[in-house]
Each structure stands twice: as C-alpha cells, then as structure tokens.
C-alpha cells in the first residue's frame, strides 16, 4: 500500500475515513491482479481501528478477494526515546489483531520518523535519518522488547519479521544476524529488505553477500530494487527506484538462493515513485515466473 497516501486531499487521515474511502484504494489493488494485501500502517493502522471498523475493512477485502497474510509497521520503534512505550503497546495490539484475523506474519523495525530534511527531499533516503544509539543499555532494551513481543506472538501462532534498515541495530547484514541471534527466539526472523540498504548514497555490502548471510534467518520479506551508480574516482553514489528485474539486485539469483537456504514466507512487493502499483504488479508477476522455474520447482518443492 506504499503508493497510496495516508491522508485525503482535505488533510483528513485515511485512518478516520469512511470504509468507502479505503475501498477505493483496495479496488485498485484487486484490479491490478492482487489476491492478497498487507495493510501497512503507513497507510492504515488496522490495530487501532475499533472492532466494527476493523470488521468493515475485513469485509471489503473479502468482497474483493484479498487475503491478509501479513501486517507491516513503519517508524514505530519500540526503543524510540519519546514514544517507545507507546509503540511497544501498539506492537502488542498489532500481534493481537493479526491473531484475531488469522494473519500469520507481522513486521517490526527500529527506524524512526522521517526528519524534516527527509520530508523535503525527493527521495528521503538521500538525507540522513534517525540513528539507533551506540548504547549497550538501549541495545539490551531492544532485545528484551523483541523477546517480549516474540513470546506474545508465539502464543498467538504469529511470526515476527524484523526489518533491515540503515543506521539501526539491523542496519547491515552482520548487525541484523547478530541481533536476531541475540534475540534467539523461534518466532523471530529477519525481514531482509536489502533494498533499504542498496539505495543508500554511501558504500554498502554487496547484495549477494547480504543474501548469503541473512537468508538463513529470513521470514516475511519486503522486496524492491534500485539502480545504483558508483563513481570510483570521486566516491559519488546515486540511486533511483527500479523494477525488480531491472535494478542492481539480481532478484532471480537472490530468491533462488533464499529458497535453497529454507525461505518459506510471503513476499511483499514495494516500489517508490511513478505508478508504484503497476510496478508492484509487474514485480509480483516476475516473482511468480521465478517460482515457477522448473529447476526451482524440482529442487525446492515449490
């Protein structure tokens, strides 16, 4: 749902809009050929709707043939210095909502709100955002709070995926593996959204190395791609959103390797800029072609 705004033209939030407004966006998703949707909370906070309005949302999805396999959260870090306690309580509500609706996966992250400079930029990732502190006490708090959420999720039959994101405790492949290993809970996996890192205008780990390190720990997976240009003489890096099959990451190779390493969760297709929904639909079809590859089907039982 990234291509859809979370406010109406008159400034009212989608959160407070009538169900008919939600339906207008979801009809476009269904018409683009999707049969599943993640109502990411950057668009609509499903966990903060009352029971009646949540039932309205579910009814719309059912009428459109849209399943809800996962719920993603964004910029609601449980270690936020001001709102961490509130975000922790909200994360528990997300797990409860997932359990109520039979949703198998939720995605959490430690990335903070966009800064004023990021909000003004054409592409927010070209400006520096909020960093997780280099503080052992805060790191321990992050581990403890994810373990708390994991215990809740496990009891509800829900799996947690932790989203990789720059300048957080999941900001590199090695950091992400270290953190999920430290949490050490069967309900917790990594959302190996390596597109969040490939798009940075700075040196990053090679995408294949990230896949090799992180795929053994992978759960619910956000996928997107970027064109990345590096000028070795000056060190300048520039990036731009790309369709999955056209950018820097070879997603055919990445997905094949992840399947070899045991990946068994849903994909969420994302895209920023342009007609993002149509690009997402093309990305969906591209992934389906990869998964229908007879060599993968025969080797992995897909």
Task: For residue 10, give both structure tokens.
Answer: 């008159």
Summarize the confidence of residues 25-50 as an average pLDDT: 98
What pTM value is reported for the model? 0.95
- Residue 21: exposure state from Cβ atoms within 10 A (0-12, 13-18, ≥19): middle
pLDDT in tens, 237-276: 999 999 999 999 999 999 999 999 999 999 999 999 999 9
Identify the H or E element spanning 143.
helix 136-156
Contacts of 32 (CB under 8 A, 6+ apart): 277, 278, 280, 281
Task: For residue 144, give both structure tokens.
Answer: 């403890």
Q: Give CA–CA dist 283/265, Å, rounded.
A: 17
Q: Give CA–CA dist 77/225, Å, rounded.
A: 24
Residue 297: what pLDDT? 55
Residue 51 belongs to some domain of the structure: no
Residue 2 belongs to some domain of the structure: no
Q: At 189, which CATH number?
A: 3.20.20.150
Task: For residue 206, give both structure tokens.
Answer: 């090679």
Residue 198 belongs to some domain of the structure: yes
| Residue 210 three-state SS | helix
Residue 232 belongs to some domain of the structure: yes
Question: ∠ CA(114), CA(54), CA(15), 5° rounding?
Answer: 35
DSSP 47: G
- Would you place residue 300 in the very low, low, confident or very high pLDDT band (cuts 50, 70, 90)? low
Residue 256 belongs to some domain of the structure: yes
Q: How many domains does the chain have?
A: 1
Residue 6 belongs to some domain of the structure: no
- Would you place residue 295 in the very low, low, confident or very high pLDDT band (cuts 50, 70, 90)? confident
Residue 35 belongs to some domain of the structure: no
Query: Which of 195, 211, 131 shows the shortest CA–CA distance to 167?
Result: 131
- Would you place residue 301 in the very low, low, confident or very high pLDDT band (cuts 50, 70, 90)? low
Which residues form the domain of 135? 69-300
Residue 274: what pLDDT? 96
Identify the H or E element spanning 100.
helix 84-101
Residue 32 belongs to some domain of the structure: no
Residue 296: what pLDDT? 74
**What count of other Cβ atoms lies within 10 Å of the Cβ of residue 123?**
15
Question: What is the rounded average pLDDT for all residues in the chain?
Answer: 96
């Amino acid at each position: 749902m990234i291509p859809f705004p979370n406010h109406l033209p008159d400034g009212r939030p989608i959160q407070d809009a009538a169900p008919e407004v939600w339906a207008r966006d979801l009809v476009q998703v269904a018409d683009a050929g999707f049969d599943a949707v993640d109502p990411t909370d950057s668009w609509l906070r499903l966990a903060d709707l009352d029971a009646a309005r949540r039932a309205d949302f579910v009814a719309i999805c059912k009428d459109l043939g849209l399943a809800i396999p996962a719920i993603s959260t964004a910029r609601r870090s449980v270690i936020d210095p001001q709102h961490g306690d509130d975000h922790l309580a909200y994360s528990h509500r997300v797990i409860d909502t997932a359990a109520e609706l039979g949703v198998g996966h939720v995605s959490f992250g430690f990335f903070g709100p966009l800064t004023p400079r990021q909000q003004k930029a054409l592409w927010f990732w070209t400006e520096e955002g909020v960093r997780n502190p280099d503080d052992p006490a805060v790191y321990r708090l992050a581990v403890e709070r994810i373990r708390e959420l994991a215990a809740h999720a496990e009891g509800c039959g829900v799996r947690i995926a932790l989203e990789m994101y720059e300048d957080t405790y999941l900001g590199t492949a090695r950091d992400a593996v270290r953190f999920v290993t430290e949490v050490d809970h069967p309900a917790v996996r990594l959302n190996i959204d390596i597109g969040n890192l490939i798009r940075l205008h700075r040196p990053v780990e090679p995408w294949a190395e990230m896949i090799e390190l992180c795929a053994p720990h992978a759960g619910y997976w956000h996928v997107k791609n970027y064109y990345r240009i590096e000028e070795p003489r000056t060190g300048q890096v520039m990036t731009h959103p790309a369709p999955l099959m056209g950018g820097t990451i070879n997603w055919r190779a990445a997905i094949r390797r992840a399947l070899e390493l045991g990946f068994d969760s849903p994909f969420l297709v994302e895209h920023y800029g342009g007609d993002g929904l149509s690009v997402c639909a093309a990305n969906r079809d591209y992934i389906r072609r990869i998964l229908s590859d007879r060599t993968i089907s025969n080797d992995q039982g897909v």
